[in-house]
Structure 1
Amino acid sequence: MNRRQTCMKLMAAGVLGLASLYAVAGDEQVVRIGLTGPLTGSQAAIGKDDENGVRLAIERLNARGLVIGGKKTHFELDSQDDAGDPRTGMTVAQNLLDANVKVIFGPFNSGVAIPISNLVNNASIVMATVASNPSITQHGYPFVFRISASDTQLGSRMGDFAARQLKVTRVAVVDDRTAYGQGVADEFVRSAKANGIQIVDREYTTDKATDFMSILTRIKGANAQAIFYGGYYAQAGALRRQMKRLGMNGYLMGGDAICNAELGKLGGDAVDERVYCPQGGPVLAQTPEGRQFMEDYRKRFATDPLTYSAALYDGMNLVAQAMEKANSIDPEKYRAALVDTNFQGISGHYQFDGNRDLLHSPITIYTYREGVPSPTKQ
Structure 2
Amino acid sequence: MQYTRLALALALAGLAGTPLAQDTVVRIGHSGPLSGAQAFSGKDNENGARLAIEELNAKPITVGGKKVKFELVSEDDQGDPKAGVNVAQKLADSGIRYVVGPYNSGVAIPASRVYANAGVVVASVASNPKLTQQGYKNLFRVNASDTQLGSKMALYAAKELKVKTVAVIDDRTAFGQGLAEEFKKQARASGMTVAGHEYTTDKAVDFTSILTKLRSKNVEAIFFGGYAPQGGPMARQMRQLGIKAKLLGGDTICTSEMGKLGGDAVGANVLCSQGGALLDKAASGPAFKAKFKKRFLAEPDVYAASYYDAVNLFANAMQQANSVDPAKVSGAISSGSYQGVAGTYAFDTKGDMKSSPVTIFTFKAGQPSAITSY
Q: TM-score range by the shorter chain?
A: over 0.9
1:78 corresponds to: 73
2:313, 2:333 within 8 Å by CA — same for their partners in 1? yes
CA separation in 2, counterparts of 1:271 and 1:140? 40
1:234 corresponds to: 229
1:202 corresponds to: 197
CA separation in 2, counterparts of 1:221 and 1:85? 35
Alignment of 1:216-231 (within 5 A): 216-231=211-226
Write out per-residue CA displacement over residues 103-154 of structure 1, whole angstroms, 9 at most, x where no aligned residue: 0110110000000111101111101100000000011100111001100110
Alignment of 1:184-195 (within 5 A): 184-195=179-190
Alignment of 1:86-105 (within 5 A): 86-105=81-100
Give the SS at the match of 1:376.
Answer: strand
Alignment of 1:14-53 (within 5 A): 14=9, 17=12, 20-21=15-16, 23-53=18-48
CA separation in 2, counterparts of 1:373 and 1:124? 38
1:152 corresponds to: 147
CA separation in 2, counterparts of 1:175 and 1:15? 66
Write out per-residue CA displacement over residues 315-341 of structure 1, whole angstroms, 9 at most, x where no aligned residue: 100100111111221211211111123
Alignment of 1:125-144 (within 5 A): 125-144=120-139
Name whichever of 333-342 and 148-157 sits farther off. Answer: 333-342
Name whichever of 355-364 and 368-377 sits farther off. Answer: 368-377
Name whichever of 287-296 and 259-268 sits farther off. Answer: 287-296
AA matched with 2:224: Y
1:315 corresponds to: 310
CA separation in 2, counterparts of 1:332 and 1:339? 11
- Decide whether aligned partners of structure 1 residues 135 and 12 sit closer, same or farther in structure 2, where only a CA change above 3 A counts: same
CA separation in 2, counterparts of 1:20 and 1:137? 48
Alignment of 1:1-378 (within 5 A): 10=5, 13-14=8-9, 17=12, 20-21=15-16, 23-377=18-372
CA separation in 2, counterparts of 1:181 and 1:372? 22
AA matched with 1:154: L
Give the SS at the match of 1:228.
Answer: strand
AA matched with 2:300: P
Write out per-residue CA displacement over residues 262-296 of structure 1, whole angstroms, 9 at most, x where no aligned residue: 10111001001011101111111223511111111
Give the SS at the match of 1:138.
Answer: helix
Shift of 1:45: 0.5
Shift of 1:12: 7.3
AA matched with 1:136: L
Shift of 1:14: 4.2
Give the SS at the match of 1:248.
Answer: coil
CA separation in 1, counterparts of 2:368 and 2:7? 67
TM-score normalised to structure 1 length:
0.95
Structure whose CA Rg is larger: 1
AA matched with 1:354: T
1:102, 1:329 within 8 Å by CA — same for their partners in 2? no
Give the SS at the match of 2:284.
Answer: helix
1:27, 1:70 within 8 Å by CA — same for their partners in 2? no
CA separation in 2, counterparts of 1:321 and 1:262? 33
CA separation in 2, counterparts of 1:298 and 1:376? 23
AA matched with 1:137: T
Give the SS at the match of 1:54.
Answer: helix
Give the SS at the match of 1:276.
Answer: strand
2:97, 2:119 within 8 Å by CA — same for their partners in 1? no
Shift of 1:196: 0.7
| C-alpha RMSD of the superposition | 1.5
- Decide whether aligned partners of structure 1 residues 367 and 25 sit closer, same or farther in structure 2, where only a CA change above 3 A counts: closer
CA separation in 2, counterparts of 1:227 and 1:207? 17
AA matched with 2:174: A
Give the SS at the match of 2:197.
Answer: strand
Percent of aligned pairs with the same residue?
Answer: 50
CA separation in 1, counterparts of 2:365 and 2:13? 62
**Runs ≥4 residues deviating over 2 A:** 10-26
1:275, 1:368 within 8 Å by CA — same for their partners in 2? yes
CA separation in 2, counterparts of 1:288 and 1:232? 29
TM-score normalised to structure 2 length:
0.96
Shift of 1:261: 1.0
Give the SS at the match of 1:34.
Answer: strand
CA separation in 1, counterparts of 2:13 and 2:213? 77
CA separation in 1, counterparts of 2:177 and 2:15? 59
CA separation in 2, counterparts of 1:273 and 1:247? 16
